[in-house]
């Protein structure tokens, strides 16, 4: 909530950023608010591929990834905004993909928007990670619904 005494000091853009979050996706902020499930951790090859790809994407593509994972395209602004009304902290969840057997390179990334979560196969290269991430995001968003 925005205190009434503060509203006159905010322009339209400031108010939108305060309420909706920044339109610039800061990968470092997202990374700082990410939790992993074993065997994934910050040093896992798949996780490193993901963050390298995220660093290389345009801001629009990053927004699409956030929207695919969460149902909205902006991250919270400021540390307080990462706390829920229940007092817990919001986190981006990056988990292993537990889908079908076979080559991980044959699977797409699965999103669970209610949990701000991606389930990612252990791709064999950064190039495959990029291709599959963008395909997952564009197909998931273009279909008119988010995969959950």
pLDDT digits (tens, 9 = 90+) for 108-126: 999 999 899 999 999 999 9
What does the domain layout of the chain look like in residue ranges?
Answer: 21-142
C-beta separation of 148 from 113 below 8 A: yes
pLDDT digits (tens, 9 = 90+) for 57-112: 999 999 999 999 998 888 887 776 666 655 667 899 999 998 777 889 999 999 99
CB atoms < 10 A from the CB of 74, how many?
Answer: 18
List the catalytic residue out of 114, 125, 135, 148: 114
The bridge status of strand 110-112 relative to strand 92-96 is unpaired
Q: Is 120 a catalytic residue?
A: no
Protein fold of 21-142: Hect, E3 ligase catalytic fold (3.30.2410)
């Amino acid at each position: 909530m925005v205190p009434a005494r503060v509203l006159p000091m905010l322009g339209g853009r400031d108010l939108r950023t305060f309420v909706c979050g920044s339109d610039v996706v800061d990968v470092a902020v997202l990374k700082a608010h990410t939790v992993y499930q074993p065997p994934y951790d910050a040093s896992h090859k798949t996780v490193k591929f993901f963050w390298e790809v995220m660093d290389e994407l345009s801001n629009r593509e990053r927004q699409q990834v956030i929207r695919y994972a969460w149902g909205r395209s902006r991250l919270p602004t400021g540390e307080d905004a990462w706390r829920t009304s229940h007092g817990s902290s919001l986190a981006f969840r990056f988990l292993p993909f537990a889908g079908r057997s076979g080559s991980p390179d044959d699977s797409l990334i699965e999103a669970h928007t209610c949990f701000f979560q991606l389930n990612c196969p252990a791709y064999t290269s950064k190039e495959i990670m990029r291709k599959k991430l963008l395909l997952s995001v564009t197909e998931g968003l273009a279909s008119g619904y988010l995969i959950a």
